[in-house]
Amino acid sequence: MKKITLLISVLIFTLLAINGCKKNDEEPKNENNTVTPWEGVEGEIRTFNTFQNERLAFGGGHNQASLQTFTLHDEPRNVRNIKMYIKLHCPTGGCNAWDVFANIKVKDDASGLYYEIGRFITPYGVDNSAYPDGYEIDVTDFKSLLTGNAELRAYIETWGTDGWEISVRFDYTLGKPDYQYYSVNKLLNYDTNSLEGVPYGVMHGKDLTRTVTIPSNASSTSLRTIITGWGHTTPADPGSGRPCAEWCFRTHKIKIDGGDKFNHEMGALGCSANPTSNQAGNWQPDRAGWCPGMAVPVRTDVFDNSKAGETFNFEYFYQPWSSNGGSTSGTVGAYYATSCFVIVKSDEPISKPTVVD
Domain with 321 in it? 179-357
Q: Which residues are catalytic?
A: 99, 157, 246
Phi–psi pair at 21, nearest 5 degrees: -65, -40
Q: How far apart are CA 192 and CA 206, in angstroms?
A: 14
Same domain, 220 and 297: yes
Instruction: DSSP letter for 120, please.
Output: E
CATH value at residue 266: 2.60.120.230
For the chain, what is the domain count? 2
* 207, 348: one domain: yes
Q: Which residues does residue 255 pair with via DSSP β-bridges, in sequence order?
A: 260, 315
Q: What is the C-alpha separation between 14 and 11, in angstroms, rounded?
A: 5
In a domain, 5, yes or no: no
Give, rounded to a whole angstrom, the gap between the first and last alpha carbons of the chain: 83
Please indicate, yes or no, whether residues 353 and 220 belong to a single structural domain of this protein. Answer: yes
Contact 298, 227 (CB under 8 A): no
* Residues 215, 112 share a domain: no
Q: How many CB atoms lie within 10 A of CB 167?
A: 17
The answer to whether residue 300 is domain-embedded is yes
- Domain boundary (177, 197, 215) is at 177
Give all strands (DSSP E) within 207-323, no chain letters.
Answer: 209-213, 220-230, 232-233, 244-245, 250-256, 259-266, 294-295, 299-302, 311-317
Helix (H) or strand (E) holding 25: helix 2-26
Do 235 and 258 belong to one domain?
A: yes
CA 128-130-135 angle, 5° bins: 55
DSSP 38: T
Tell whether 144 and 256 lie within a shared domain. no
Residues 6+ apart with CB under 8 A from 258: 313, 315
Cβ 113 vs Cβ 107: under 8 Å: yes
Identify the CA nearest to 290 among candidates 245, 328, 333, 321. Answer: 245
Domain end position, chosen among 149, 177, 205: 177
**Helices (H) then strands (E): counts for the chain:** 1, 22
Q: How far is CA 164 from CA 103, 131, 188, in A?
A: 13, 16, 28
Q: Report d(CA 298, CA 220) in Å as an integer.
A: 18
Q: Are residues 249 and 114 in the same domain?
A: no
Residue type for 52, please?
Q
21 located within any domain: no
Distance CA 104, CA 155 (A): 6
Residue 127 inside a domain? The answer is yes
The angle subtended at Cα 68 by Cα 67 and Cα 73, nearest 5°, is 135
Tell me if 46 sits within 8 A of 73, measured CB to CB. yes
Identify whether 25 is part of a domain.
no
Residues 154, 302, single domain; the answer is: no
Q: Is residue 348 situated within a structural domain?
A: yes
In a domain, 2, yes or no: no
> Is the same domain home to 143 and 249?
no
**Residue 7 placed within a domain:** no
pLDDT in single tens digits along all 357 residues of the chain: 444 443 344 444 444 444 444 444 444 555 555 679 999 999 999 999 999 999 999 999 999 999 999 999 999 999 999 999 999 999 999 999 999 999 999 999 999 999 999 999 999 999 999 999 999 999 999 999 999 999 999 999 999 999 999 999 999 999 999 999 999 999 999 999 999 999 999 999 999 999 999 999 999 999 999 999 999 999 999 999 999 999 999 999 999 999 999 999 999 999 999 999 999 999 999 999 999 999 999 999 999 999 999 999 999 999 999 999 999 998 899 999 999 999 999 999 999 999 999
Domain finish residue from 177, 193, 212: 177
Do 118 and 200 belong together in one domain? no
* pLDDT attached to residue 35: 76
Kindly state the greatest CA–CA separation across the chain.
Answer: 105
Mark whether 137 and 259 lie in a shared domain: no
Collapsed DSSP state (helix, strand, coil) of residue 65: strand
Report the SS3 class of residue 67: strand
Asked if 349 and 239 sit in the same domain, the reply is: yes
